[in-house]
Structure 1
Amino acid sequence: MLKMIHRRTFFKTTAAFAAGSMVLPAVSCSGIFGKTIGLQLYTVRDQLKEDWDGTLNRLAEIGYNSVEAAGYNLSEGTFYGLSPKAFAQKLDALGMPLHSSHTVFENRDAEKVFADAAEAGCQYVVYPFLPEEFRKNINGYKATAAKLNRMGEIANNYGIRFGYHNHAFEFEKMDGQTGMDILLEETDFEMVTFELDLYWVTRAGYDPVEYIKKYPGRFELWHVKDMVKTEDMFFAPAGYGRIDFERIFDEKNTAGMKLFFVEQDSFRTFDPMESVEMSYNYLRKASFI
């Protein structure tokens, strides 16, 4: 059954990608260098708590012109303490529009989540992390895929594209399958896209390029995150580690990539603001983007 779904996904990818694109306005946020380079704000979460305005202003000065949020409060309906509209206006004034938001939620809250995201001008809402209770076995992943499909249907009603972000645990083998394969093959490509985290795919022992070719058109969003060359595989600023981004970006059309966001979970050698500037400068200068 899974193989049949995979074949349908492969042959219908182009049509599915086009259908998904119709839901969203075209991304038109290229900066002075003609590139859209986004940042996942989780990267600077501590700096935002210490100096909200100063941190956002500095990100804009560096050159970032696209943002993915990680601070939506479901109970309050706010982004980092601001109403959806006020948050969007703040970012727009800095030339860093809110293109995507990470939110963990359940179907009962989907209408509110997508209504607030639409008010903030989000093009994407991404389910960022799967709790352990849902990834113990194949049935848990299949149930999650069904849930993601329902969320995607609701998102479409608000003109929003819904996606799922991977870590490494989705690539663990279970009865010859991986959770990631199940999610990709059991979700409707018109309802659910994926945010491919290049670091976590690599950390799991898989080649991002091979995965893109296996599921073409399914990865509209990417997290650009690097890995140090030492055995501990710690996080690194983009371009300062072992991941061959040029090789991966050569497949951006195959992936159906629309937007990418720099993200770095933790820091060791450089502080967060120094690291995000290093990542930005590497990507700005990269001829393959």
Structure 2
Amino acid sequence: MNRRTFLQSTAGLSALAMLGLEARPNAKSVGLQLYTLRSDIQKQGIEKILAEVAKLGYKKVENFGYNQGKFFGKTPTEYRKILADNGLKAISGHYMTARSKAFGDTDGLTKNWDKIVEDAAAIGQEYAVIAYLIDNERKPEDYKQLFELLNKGSEVAKKAGLTLGYHNHDFEFTQKIDGEKPYDLLLKNTNVIMEVDLYWVAKAGENANEYFKKFPGRFPLWHVKDMANTEKKEFAEVGVGTIDFGALFKDAKKAGLKHYFVEQDVCQRPPLESIKISIDNIQAAKWG
């Protein structure tokens, strides 16, 4: 490198430093579940928040709250442009089954599913994930109906070029149906992929590595969130809690991991500060 090239290079690094952006030639491609920033999005708008997310170094996002053809109030064309303007890609999106009206009359697996996956494909999503089962969707007969709904919904998703997935909490492990955990039954009776939420697996007292070994390749999406070292085991920024992510990521290949997303359901500090701590710790970690 000659002197002129060196000076140009260091000037560029100085400019990045002035902007508060660290040059990371080998930076990891980290995703964010936007639900973490739901209050900020509501108050400030999706454009401003996605710009902030990109500045922190996130490269991927996972959507939530799609309804009536809109992502955060934007059409697929509008939303895709906002993502592109910020160098972001929406890899996945969260949806409900729409069997329960607890969250209102929203679109989901049993309502306008064809339109959902069509719009998801239009913004470049690769996955559509069922996010949560309402309390009144957890009876044995509800799960048996769910297996059929997921398998049929998966076929519709495939036609649009998407893969259907399921995101867990802890109740899928703590409940029993005919002596088996709903999570195990989901793996055995459906063809969908699993978006494994590492916090909720740990909260339920389960070992995610054992699932990776028993059902290899079924876990291409992960939610990476930490657990506070307190009696209540609150959500915590990645890297400041008790979860051994290094041990989990050792089995990433066996699990079939392709994308992982930071998510913190509840933050003890401003959410943008929390997600900055998480991504900074991930970038500094040996895993990921």
Bin for the TM-score computed over the shorter chain: 0.7 to 0.9
2:57 is the counterpart of 1:63: yes
Task: Decide which of 87, 104, 122 is 1:95's aligned counterpart.
Answer: 87
Q: Secondary structure at the match of 2:93?
A: strand
CA contact (8 A) 1:142 1:183 kept: no
Q: Which residue of 1 is the match for residue 205 of structure 2? A: 205
2:39 is the counterpart of 1:39: no
1:9-57 deviation line (CA, Å, top 9, x unaligned): xxxxxxxxxxxxxxxxxxxxxx843421000000001111121233221
Give me the whole-angstrom Cα distance separating, in 2, the residues matched to 1:90 and 1:79: 11
1:198-246 deviation line (CA, Å, top 9, x unaligned): 0011111101111221211111100001100111010000011000001
Give me the whole-angstrom Cα distance separating, in 2, the residues matched to 1:267 and 1:215: 32
CA contact (8 A) 1:84 1:119 kept: yes
2:156 is the counterpart of 1:154: yes
Q: Partner letter of residue 118 of structure 2?
A: A
The gaps in structure 1 that reach 5 residues or longer are 1-30
Q: Partner letter of residue 258 of structure 2?
A: K
CA contact (8 A) 2:31 2:261 kept: yes
Q: Partner letter of residue 67 of structure 1?
A: V
Choose 1 or 2 for highest CA Rg: 2
Q: Name the TM-score, length of structure 2 as normaliser.
A: 0.84
Give me the whole-angstrom Cα distance separating, in 2, the residues matched to 1:218 and 1:241: 26
- Give the Å deviation of 1:155: 0.3
Q: Which residue of 1 is the match for residue 129 of structure 2? A: 126
CA contact (8 A) 1:135 1:179 kept: no
Q: Which residue of 2 is the match for residue 135 of structure 1? A: 138
- Give the Å deviation of 1:142: 2.3
Q: Which residue of 2 is the match for residue 166 of structure 1? A: 168
CA contact (8 A) 2:249 2:287 kept: yes
Instruction: Give 1:98-109 correspondences, 5 Å limit.
Output: 98-104=90-96, 105-109=108-112
Q: Partner letter of residue 180 of structure 1?
A: Y
Give me the whole-angstrom Cα distance separating, in 1, the residues matched to 2:198 and 2:257: 13
CA contact (8 A) 1:142 1:182 kept: no
1:154-212 deviation line (CA, Å, top 9, x unaligned): 00000001101001110124232101011110012xxx111000001111110111122
Q: Secondary structure at the match of 1:78?
A: coil
Q: Secondary structure at the match of 1:185?
A: helix
Q: Name the TM-score, length of structure 1 as normaliser.
A: 0.84
Distance 1:200 1:258, change over 3 A: same
The gaps in structure 2 that reach 5 residues or longer are 1-23, 97-107
Give me the whole-angstrom Cα distance separating, in 2, the residues matched to 1:173 and 1:119: 37
Give me the whole-angstrom Cα distance separating, in 1, the residues matched to 2:56 and 2:199: 23
The 10-residue stretch of structure 1 (99-108 or 252-261) with the greater mean CA deviation from structure 2: 99-108
CA contact (8 A) 2:95 2:109 kept: no
Give me the whole-angstrom Cα distance separating, in 2, the residues matched to 1:94 and 1:227: 30
Q: Which residue of 1 is the match for residue 119 of structure 2? A: 116
Q: Which residue of 2 is the match for residue 242 of structure 1? A: 242
- Give the Å deviation of 1:109: 1.6
2:280 is the counterpart of 1:281: yes
Distance 1:108 1:275, change over 3 A: closer
Q: Work out the number of aligned pairs and report it.
A: 252
Q: Which residue of 2 is the match for residue 16 of structure 1? A: none
Q: What is the aligned-residue RMSD (CA, Å)?
A: 1.3
Q: Secondary structure at the match of 2:195?
A: strand
Q: Partner letter of residue 75 of structure 2?
A: S
Q: Which residue of 2 is the match for residue 48 of structure 1? A: 41
Distance 1:88 1:32, change over 3 A: farther
Percent identity of the aligned residues? 41
Give me the whole-angstrom Cα distance separating, in 2, the residues matched to 1:279 and 1:272: 11
CA contact (8 A) 2:95 2:130 kept: yes
Q: Secondary structure at the match of 2:112?
A: helix
Task: Decide which of 173, 178, 181 is 1:178's aligned counterpart.
Answer: 181
1:121-177 deviation line (CA, Å, top 9, x unaligned): 11111110112233122x322221111011000000000011010011101242321
Q: Which residue of 2 is the match for residue 18 of structure 1? A: none
- Give the Å deviation of 1:103: 1.2
